[in-house]
């Protein structure tokens, strides 16, 4: 990456876990980073410090991505922080409050997941994309959305999570078709089983599954695995690809006989 050029990334849900790992990987790739999490997050300050330790600038901005009315003001602040946004990473998301059978899913749980995991990223991407189109640059820009292996794999004990994540694959393709002419490539990164607070509840289950051959690469994925993938895409390693999915799942989706 040319250090003489401006490279700035906005990462949602960057307080910890995958989001923090993405922010640090982008910093390592030469990006200044705007890190986001819920307003009042106690974790963002540490992410900012870690980015700065890599010699890059960092700013923390609070936002609940489900709060659509706050998007325009948030994007204004993010855009102004370093004079633009070259990469948006849609990472913020939640899992179900309680794993339960699909026959027990409530409208309240369904609406919560759709609001945060799908509706929020769609409209935040729209707001950032409008600014990118209105203020073009010569360099490639990227929009990278973190989805889930549940785009491919049905989990009937968290059906609403699957339904909130699967449409992100199409969202990425739609924005790819719309934005390519404006020098913006979009990608979907599809993690497998990643070691985070979200998956800690199922640790023993996945430990057994990996031991029994769940994936060809027989280990948990780490947040840093996702961070490395995002940094590669954001750095322009695949300039003639857009709308593509990068699975970071240890081969989980490989069909085997």
pLDDT at 8: 98
232: helix, coil or strand?
A: helix
Dig out the tokens for 85 from the structure: 């946004």
Distance CA 166, CA 170 (A): 8
The answer to whether 187 and 144 are in contact (CB under 8 A) is yes
Beta strands in the chain (DSSP E): 8-11, 32-37, 58-62, 87-90, 141-146, 184-191, 244-248
User: How, if at all, do strands 244-248 and 87-90 pair?
Assistant: unpaired
Q: Specify whether domain 8-194+224-247 bears CATH 3.40.50.720.
A: yes
DSSP per-residue string spanning 183-205: TEEEEEEEE-SB-STTTGGGHHH
Kindly give the residue spans of alpha helices, DSSP state H, lying in the chain.
17-28, 44-53, 71-82, 107-114, 120-134, 159-165, 167-179, 203-211, 223-234
Q: In residues, how long is the chain?
A: 257
- pLDDT average per 10 residues of sequence, the chain (257 residues): 72 98 98 97 96 98 98 98 98 96 98 98 98 97 98 97 98 98 98 92 92 96 98 98 98 94
48: helix, coil or strand?
A: helix
Q: If residue 230 lies in a helix (H) or strand (E), which one and from where to where?
A: helix 223-234
DSSP per-residue string spanning 79-92: HHHHT--SEEEE--
pTM of the model: 0.96
For the four alpha carbons of 178, 127, 118 and 91, in that order, the dihedral sign comes to positive
Query: What amino acid positions are annotated as catalytic residues?
Result: 161
> Percentage helix, strand, coil, to 5, in the chain?
45, 15, 40
């Amino acid at each position: 990456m040319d250090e003489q050029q401006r490279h700035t990334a906005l990462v949602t849900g960057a307080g910890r876990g995958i989001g923090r790992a993405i922010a640090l990987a982008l910093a390592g790739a030469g990006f200044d980073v705007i890190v986001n999490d819920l307003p009042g997050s106690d974790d963002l300050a540490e992410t900012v410090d870690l980015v700065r330790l890599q010699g890059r600038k960092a700013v923390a901005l609070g936002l609940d991505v489900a709060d659509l009315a706050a998007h325009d003001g948030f994007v204004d602040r993010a855009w102004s922080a370093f004079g633009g946004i070259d990469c948006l990473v849609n990472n913020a998301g939640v899992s179900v409050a309680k794993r339960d059978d699909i026959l027990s899913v409530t409208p309240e749980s369904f609406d919560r997941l759709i609001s945060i995991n799908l509706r929020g990223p769609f409209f935040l991407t729209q707001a950032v994309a409008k600014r990118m189109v209105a203020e073009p640059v010569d360099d490639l820009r990227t929009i990278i959305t973190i989805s889930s292996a549940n785009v491919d794999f049905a989990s009937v004990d968290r059906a609403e999570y699957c339904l909130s994540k699967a449409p992100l694959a199409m969202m990425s393709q739609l924005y790819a078709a719309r934005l390519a002419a404006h020098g913006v490539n979009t990608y979907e990164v599809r993690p497998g089983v990643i070691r985070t607070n979200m998956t800690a509840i199922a640790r023993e289950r996945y430990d057994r599954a990996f031991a029994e051959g769940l994936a060809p690469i027989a280990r948990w994925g780490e947040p840093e695995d996702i961070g490395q993938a995002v940094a590669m895409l954001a750095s322009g390693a695949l300039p003639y690809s857009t709308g593509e999915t990068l699975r970071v799942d240890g081969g989980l989706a490989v069909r085997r006989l």
